Chain A
């Protein structure tokens, strides 16, 4: 035997053990709760901005595009009606093949 002395065994009372486990659990749970809370709220600013727009929508006297009087006036004076030849020229487009080989 290389050695003839050892350290005396460590005594942990049951009370101490439960206390330790309790504190550890409480700390871990609080930490997890805080982090998951923060993570769940990560989209809050997006929702706030969206809510602002929907509020703007509700405030409007007119809420459908086809009832926009000024827009109808513009059609009257310029393009005539949607998808007319002039509307096709000004308001429609074609798309491009950009595939990189």
Chain B
């Protein structure tokens, strides 16, 4: 590849800084328990003790999620802005990427590798996911706050709709994360290790995923 000509085979880039990785850990430890106990609270399969425990875990997970989001927004506004800009920058490359689903079905189902339009740090599918998670996350946190703190205070009609919205948006988030984000993360194992490990990844491993980012957005440390 052309790009590799300017880089060494040993070159390593820091793709995710420590605050970002910590935030991601909080999302994992906050959202996943909250989402799973959310389903439990919806289906109500357990006895009183079980349901109470599920609720306790739900609140703890939700609390961690909320706190992490607030802290990240306050202490890492640069990352928030960068994320926002990326998820809302769409070009013809992105449309074309979506048309071939990034080449994933072809690779996974048929073992065929097809050419894919070049991406920056976030690919088009991740951009869609990012938009969804950003707004759905805010909705689920706000409705959750009302349900936890102010249920006897808000008009019953509002309480009823808040509950329904919390349920539906929460379920959609859970499906998107568990059915899309997590499997694809595991499939791209080196990216998985990068986010859960020390944030570094060899440039030769992301040449196919993020060529434009490598070309334009990274620099050598002095």
Interface size class of B (residues with CB under 8 A): 20 to 34
Residues of A within 8 A of B (CB): 1-10, 12, 16-17, 20, 31, 35, 38-39, 41-42
Contact with A along B116-160 (1 / 0, CB 8 A): 000001000000000000000000001000100010011100100
Q: How many A-B residue pairs have CB under 8 A?
A: 62
Q: Is the CB of A10 within 8 A of B79?
A: yes
Q: Is the CB of A3 within 8 A of B13?
A: yes
Shortest distance between the CB of B149 and any CB in chain A (Å): 11
A residues near B81, Cβ cutoff 8 Å: 10, 12, 16, 20
Residues of B within 8 A of A (CB): 11-15, 77-79, 81-82, 121, 142, 146, 150, 153-155, 158, 198, 200, 203, 213, 217-221
Q: Is the CB of B219 within 8 A of A8?
A: yes
Q: Is the CB of A2 within 8 A of B155?
A: no
B residues near A2, Cβ cutoff 8 Å: 12, 198, 200
Taking CB as reference atom, which chain A residue is nearest B16? A7
A residues near B155, Cβ cutoff 8 Å: 38, 41-42
A1-B221, A12-B81 known; A6+B13 contact, CB < 8 A: yes
Q: Is the CB of A4 within 8 A of B221?
A: yes
A residues near B203, Cβ cutoff 8 Å: 5
B residues near A17, Cβ cutoff 8 Å: 77
Taking CB as reference atom, which chain A residue is nearest B8? A4
Q: Is the CB of B78 within 8 A of A12?
A: yes
Shortest distance between the CB of A100 and any CB in chain B (Å): 23
Residue from A6, A38, A41 with most neighbouring chain B CB atoms (10 Å): A6
A10-B78, A12-B78, A20-B81 known; A5+B12 contact, CB < 8 A: yes
A8-B218, A31-B142 known; A3+B200 contact, CB < 8 A: yes
Whole-angstrom distance between the alpha carbons of A8 and B14 in the complex?
11
